[in-house]
Structure 1
Amino acid sequence: MTTAETGRAVGPGLDRVDAPLKVTGAALYPNDVSWPGMAHAALVRSTVAAGRVLDIDVAPARRAPGVLAAVTHLNAPRLARGPRPPMIGAPPAPLQDDRVLHHGQHLGIVVAESPEQARHAARLVRVEYEPAEAVLDLDDARAELLVDPWGLDTEHGDVDAGFARSDVVVEETYTTPDNTNNPLGLMTTVASWQGGLLTVQDSTQWPSNVRTTLAAVFGVPESRVRVLAPFVGGGFGAGLRVWSHVLLTVLAAREAGRPVKLVLTRPEMFTSVGHRPRTVQRVRVGATRDGTLVAVEHDSVAPVAMDDDNVEPVSHSSTFSYACRGIRTRDRQARLTVPSPGSMRAPAEAQGNFALETAIDEVAHALGMDPLAFRLHNHADDHPLLGLPWSSKALKECYRLGAERFGWSRRTPEPGSLRDGRDLVGYGVAGVCYPFIQFPCQARVSVLGDGSAHVRSAATDIGTGTYTVMTQLAAELLGLDVGRVRFDPGDSDLPYAPPAGGSGLTGALGNAVHAACRRLVRDFCDLVRDDAASPLLGAAPEEVAVAGGRLHRVGDPGRGESYADILARHGLAELGADGRSAPPRAEDLGMAPAGAFGAKFVEVRVDAELRLLRVARVVSVVDGGRILNEKTATSQIVGGTVGGIGQALFEDTVTDPVTGRIANATFGDYLVPVHADVPDMEVLFVGGPDRASATGTKGIGEIGLVGVAAAVGNAVFHATGRRVRSLPITVEQLLP
């Protein structure tokens, strides 16, 4: 089977197919949901960071107007811990004992007729504690230290010998702070038990996992649980896990005997749905005088909650970022009395890249080499550990095109040597990679009697454009106009889908849709192969092409017929097919599956007297494989870049060192970039289809953020001569 006019549906910057629903207010987000008889819930949260609950008095709350139920550990049923998906894990079930493990922990839930009544009643709950001393610092001797918690530590080659023969060795410590996921939409859960059927509308990035978890925690068959998430108001990783507030809402609905809705407040978002964990990283890099890397050592320590298993392999990408004979990486976690960390856009890579790419810049400077030339000299043509060629890699092209468009040749070598009026001007670059991540996925595609197509999967779209690119892909594979294809995601009753996270959904879902569409066309061919009334009589699938809503013989568009005519003649209302995808394995491919690669070029301006810093320009060049929609892909890189500016200059979740309370848990205090902070940005895509994927795609959701902080820091050094090794970069760090 072949597709006529390849590229007609895929590639051009098609407007989002879901945009009309969003701009007219018809898109139903979880916090828009209102079910008949719905009650509302509010949380009771801990005001200490560690200890035990001696007593919790809910009597005043129960007497408050409109209150329907109040649940604490004293009257909560026993709940099982949910499954722990790989790389994501799961927090423990709430309200199972009297322990307090962090400030803001959920100690209870109150249900009332209105949200105002629920919040008022929750404030009436009185809690008596036996407080304990909190463990809040990574270097606290009381913190349990987990060494190589995921079995990913690496030692390749003779690292110590590499350092011994290095002409230049740079060894420094780099730190990054806690950052908090702050999607615009407050995380919301609405739950209803009706006749033994549990229906949940949730701000989740993974409906299939919510379904599996709720079934396990509450002891009901998965077939009796349905999770809906057709629209989600952002996530940035906050919606990957099934957090305790989701379980509490489901529990509250069962206790109250009515549908219950819980909308987290902004301060609750800071303690309830994860955050990017802080890191302390020690990086040692050795190189010979000719600029060849011979040894890289990258150690990291990051926090994890007292009863959690969040995965954050900060140093891991140092194993494949550069060609190097000696590589050693180590990751450790320290158990602290803090809210559970979780995935935040570009988890691990956002922190690890900052340290590695800053150290690479430092080595280049020590050698007197151009930072870009140093990176090109040490480009990893093959995977350094596997010794296999990449399934695709256009990083060199990213560097070269980016340098040309950015004007890198105008850069003068000496720090502080570029000026424009009172501004010190700095140019910085960072190499970027994001590891290949993909999970199994399923999809179903049907062609209806009118010749239109219907694509279904449990995947959800968190704003990345999944609605649009899956519509485009199915349209191309079936030879239909985009307007004749409908994609319905976000329902756990549909075929299983992995999370919208880790830059893995487009590949996984796209390959499943690809498989379903190919199978569907073959099924149409089977219908007409022995049909004497069909102009496709006797045609094998490889002899058939699709275009214009028709199947026709390859090379002879006149000898064919429409999907609608075939279905009508055979008395079928529709014909459907299922498709599956599985992650490719390097040993089967003979190649290393490649994630996205890229290069970030940044210009900064620093006021010579006041030391005020602003980012003036960013050029991002990305190898994202086959780009299904240039418009939505560009939007992803732009959005990621803005997030990277936030990491570089603004974001810092501040925890009080004594009480463990987050001190800036509002948008009034937690700084994020605003329009005035966003510079001129240019996004370019290079490279071709990836050989590890049937659709040729590589995920790009994270790659836009990775490298921004390092490139900004490297540009600051070029402008001022001041090397910044801790984020965010502040005026105080730049003062003489």
Structure 2
Amino acid sequence: MTILERPRHVGPGVDRVDGPQKVTGAARYPNDFSHPDMAHAALVRATIAAGRVARLDTGAAESAPGVLAVLTHLNAPRLATGPSALLATPPPPLRDDRILYYGQYVAVVVADTPERASAAARRIEVGYEPAEPLLDIHDPRAERLPDPWGSDASWGDTRAALDDAHVVIEASYTTAENTNNPLGLFSTLAEWDGDTLTVHDSTQWPTRVRATLAQMFGVPEAGVRVLVLYVGGGFGAGLRVWPHVILTAMAARQTGRPVKLVMTRPEMFTGIGHRPATVQHIRIGATRDGRLTAIEHESRSTVAIEGDNIEPCATVSTAAYACPNVTAHDEQVRLNIPWTNSMRAPGEAQGNFVLESAIDELSHALGIDPLELRLRNYAEVHPRSGLPWSSKALRECYEVGAERFGWSRRVPEPGSMREGDWLVGYGMAGISYFWYQAPCQARATVRGDGTAYVRSAVTDIGTGTYTIMTQLAAELLGLEQDRVTFGLGDTSMPPGPQAGGSGLTAALGSAVHAACRNLVRAFLDAAAADPASPLAGCDLDDVAVTGGRVHRVGEPERGESYAGILAMRGLDELSADGDSTPRTPQEAGMAPAGPFGARFVEVRVDPELGRLSVARVVSAIDGGRILNEKLARSQIIGGTVGGIGMAMFEDTVSDPGTGRIANATLGDYLVPVNADIPDMDVSFVGGPDAFNPIGVKGVGEIGLVGMAAAIANAVFHATGKRIRSVPITIDRLLL
């Protein structure tokens, strides 16, 4: 059975299959669901960053109109801890009187309307015994966690190589805390029926929510159903089971009624994670002709007092360039801050800014063009393991991007290019993104009318999963796309991983690939029951699927339709399951490659006002096989907007004395708007990747990576000022 050799459905930029539902308002997000007799919950948050709750006066709230319950650490049921695994759940809420960060939940009020719940929550009086909080990443009192994930790497003799290098670049860089800020406010609706729990939740990982709720409340997983048909954005914020989800289920169980909780925007800033701040130090050694001899990259990032966050930044330097001596070290600093968490391109966004800025500094010191320096140190094989890449078209990314951008027109001397009163700068960055793929399961069914239903308990966070999996299943089953329905967002379906890490397309697509192959095999087995069938004796390699029929390769007339096989065997439908578990590099004999890319940026700087604007962005991306060019291009464009935000606007500002987030609204937290975004040029290069059967890589996050460095490098080219901290604000340009 030939698969994806001459695809009909994958590749073209077809429109989203869920587009009509979204534009007509028919798509139902978690906040759109309700139940008769539904109650509403409101949260009460701590107003200190460290200490204890000394007094709780809930009397006024309990006697307020419509109030059904007030839960605090004094009366909340004791829950078990959640599963201990990747992106673990925070400890059960309301478990004791300790306060670990400003905004921590100290009470939840349940009432018959959201307005009454919020009004009653404001009537709760809380007294505290404050303690001195740890809020500064440089605070010597703060606990440091050396390499908690085993991601540190070292080979060669980095110190000796740096001592012997002809040229050494050494610098420190900082990146600010960023907050995910999906447009849709996170919400949870929980309903108990005995020990059976149904939850609608804004999550990127339904099966993790199910497992966590089951373990915490001591009920079987089979009795917990999590539904999330659509998510109003996530960017990593929906990867954990946050305390508000647990509190909603707790409130529903305590009151015996369905309970709904919709977070406010300020609560989103403290309740669903944020990108940690980092301080990074890098030293790069090279010969005079631009050959890298050593890289030493150290990163320190923030983490909550009881938090865990797998976000190594320095490891970026272990896979980007060919270098014989490399040391990468990460550590975390525990502070009294809300939980840090994945935000689009975790670790890579911050680490790439440092590495690619330092490479640019090295190119200037050596007098070598920044693009040429990167090409001279191109990693033909994986730098640490020496294994060949499963695919790599980064060289083509450089070539195509530079040509489309017009990099050859760049005048090397900083400050030498102008247009009127504006200083013009050209900057670039290379991207070598990490590989990630988790196990996944899927099920495919063909019904008696010849239509197909394929499903898995994953989510579509706006990236286009509904669409590309419909395209893929149609291709694999030989059906038109309007004959295929893809289902997701329901834990009654086969379990799937999180929509995160740019790994869902490979994981889910490989599972769908396996399920569809197994389904065609099941139809062959059904046909084989009739010796007179034209498919009798055929194996998968002997057949192709087109037009709703299974037929011999090269002989379309010798076959049977799905509907005909089912009818002749008296079956209403036929189903098959499939799963995907990625091979190890050792098993495959190759290094699994994530996406690669190159960013080219033109900026304009007003030297008198310090105003910075991005004039052009060209992105060339190696994303493996592209299943839908239109949606993939949208992902790169969307990620680029986020990268501009990281580079120029976004900064979650906390009061240094109290830990209160000072800009916890979209009116105060700056994000790029249409006027800040130029036209963008996106090209895809390369071909299918060898590490999975459908040849794909994820492109959901690489669109953000590289933008901060490319913009900072362009600012240096325009002004001669090297900015080593993001966001790049007016005050930094005027200094």
What per-residue deviation string (whole Å, max 9, x for no partner) do you get for residues 458-501 of structure 1? 00100000000000000000000011000110011110100000
Partners of 1:4 and 1:546 within 8 A in 2? no
Match in the other structure for 1:125: 124
Q: Distance in 1 between matches of 2:571 and 2:156?
A: 63
Match in the other structure for 2:524: 525
Match in the other structure for 2:12: 12
Q: Distance in 2 between matches of 1:541 and 1:513?
A: 16
Partners of 1:188 and 1:263 within 8 A in 2? yes
Q: CA deviation at 1:560?
A: 1.4
- Count of residue correspondences: 735
Match in the other structure for 2:159: 160
Match in the other structure for 2:495: 496
Answering whether residue 42 of structure 2 is matched by residue 21 of structure 1, we say no
Answering whether residue 215 of structure 2 is matched by residue 216 of structure 1, we say yes
Match in the other structure for 1:335: 334
Q: Distance in 1 between matches of 2:346 and 2:536?
A: 54
Q: Which runs of 4+ in 1 moved over 4 A?
A: none
Q: CA deviation at 1:541?
A: 2.1
Q: Distance in 1 between matches of 2:314 and 2:5?
A: 44
Q: CA deviation at 1:150?
A: 1.0
Q: CA deviation at 1:690?
A: 0.4
SS at match of 1:124: coil
Q: Distance in 2 between matches of 1:229 and 1:95?
A: 26
Q: Distance in 2 between matches of 1:561 and 1:643?
A: 50
What per-residue deviation string (whole Å, max 9, x for no partner) do you get for residues 666-702 of structure 1? 0110000000001110110000000001110001111
Match in the other structure for 2:141: 142
Normalising by structure 2, we get a TM-score of 0.99
Answering whether residue 386 of structure 2 is matched by residue 401 of structure 1, we say no
Q: CA deviation at 1:641?
A: 0.2
Q: Distance in 1 between matches of 2:395 and 2:450?
A: 45
Match in the other structure for 1:621: 620
Partners of 1:529 and 1:540 within 8 A in 2? no
Match in the other structure for 2:115: 116
Partners of 2:4 and 2:694 within 8 A in 1? no
Q: CA deviation at 1:3?
A: 4.8
Answering whether residue 547 of structure 2 is matched by residue 548 of structure 1, we say yes
Residues 349/571 of structure 1: CA separation in 2 closer, same or farther (3 Å cut): same
What per-residue deviation string (whole Å, max 9, x for no partner) do you get for residues 584-619 of structure 1? 210001000000100000000112322211000001
Q: CA deviation at 1:534?
A: 2.3
Answering whether residue 694 of structure 2 is matched by residue 695 of structure 1, we say yes
Q: Distance in 2 between matches of 1:377 and 1:139?
A: 37
What per-residue deviation string (whole Å, max 9, x for no partner) do you get for residues 183-242 of structure 1? 000000000001321000000000000000001111111011000011110000000000
Written as runs of structure 1 = structure 2, the 5 A alignment for 1:208-607 is 208-607=207-606
Q: CA deviation at 1:4?
A: 8.3
What per-residue deviation string (whole Å, max 9, x for no partner) do you get for residues 636-658 of structure 1? 00000000000000000000000
Structure 2 residue identity aligned to 1:14:
V
Structure 1 residue identity aligned to 2:119:
H
Structure 2 residue identity aligned to 1:725:
R
What per-residue deviation string (whole Å, max 9, x for no partner) do you get for residues 141-177 of structure 1? 1101111111111111111121122111011000001
Answering whether residue 58 of structure 2 is matched by residue 49 of structure 1, we say no
Partners of 2:689 and 2:697 within 8 A in 1? yes
**Which runs of 5 or more structure 2 residues have no equivalent in the other structure?**
none
Normalising by structure 1, we get a TM-score of 0.99
Structure 2 residue identity aligned to 1:676:
A
Q: CA deviation at 1:508?
A: 0.2
**Which runs of 5 or more structure 1 residues have no equivalent in the other structure?**
none
Partners of 2:206 and 2:227 within 8 A in 1? yes
Q: CA deviation at 1:735?
A: 1.4
Partners of 2:89 and 2:212 within 8 A in 1? no
Report the identity percentage: 66
SS at match of 1:635: helix
Answering whether residue 37 of structure 2 is matched by residue 37 of structure 1, we say yes
SS at match of 1:318: helix
SS at match of 1:366: helix
Q: Distance in 2 between matches of 1:386 and 1:448?
A: 48
Partners of 1:584 and 1:593 within 8 A in 2? no
Q: Distance in 2 between matches of 1:574 and 1:267?
A: 50
Give the stretch that moved more between structures: 50-59 or 651-660.
50-59
Structure 1 residue identity aligned to 2:270:
T
Residues 3/155 of structure 1: CA separation in 2 closer, same or farther (3 Å cut): closer
Q: CA deviation at 1:123?
A: 0.6
Q: CA deviation at 1:310?
A: 1.3
Match in the other structure for 1:196: 195
Match in the other structure for 1:2: 2
Q: Distance in 2 between matches of 1:329 and 1:18?
A: 43
SS at match of 1:506: helix
Partners of 2:49 and 2:102 within 8 A in 1? yes
Q: Distance in 1 between matches of 2:699 and 2:655?
A: 36
SS at match of 1:280: strand
Q: Distance in 2 between matches of 1:5 and 1:351?
A: 38
What per-residue deviation string (whole Å, max 9, x for no partner) do you get for residues 611-636 of structure 1? 21100000111000000000110000
Partners of 1:49 and 1:100 within 8 A in 2? yes
Q: Distance in 1 between matches of 2:124 and 2:541?
A: 69
Written as runs of structure 1 = structure 2, the 5 A alignment for 1:719-734 is 719-734=718-733
Q: CA deviation at 1:244?
A: 0.3
SS at match of 1:2: coil
Structure 1 residue identity aligned to 2:70:
A
SS at match of 2:726: coil
Partners of 1:295 and 1:326 within 8 A in 2? yes
Q: CA deviation at 1:384?
A: 0.6
Structure 1 residue identity aligned to 2:359:
I
Q: Distance in 2 between matches of 1:551 and 1:123?
A: 65
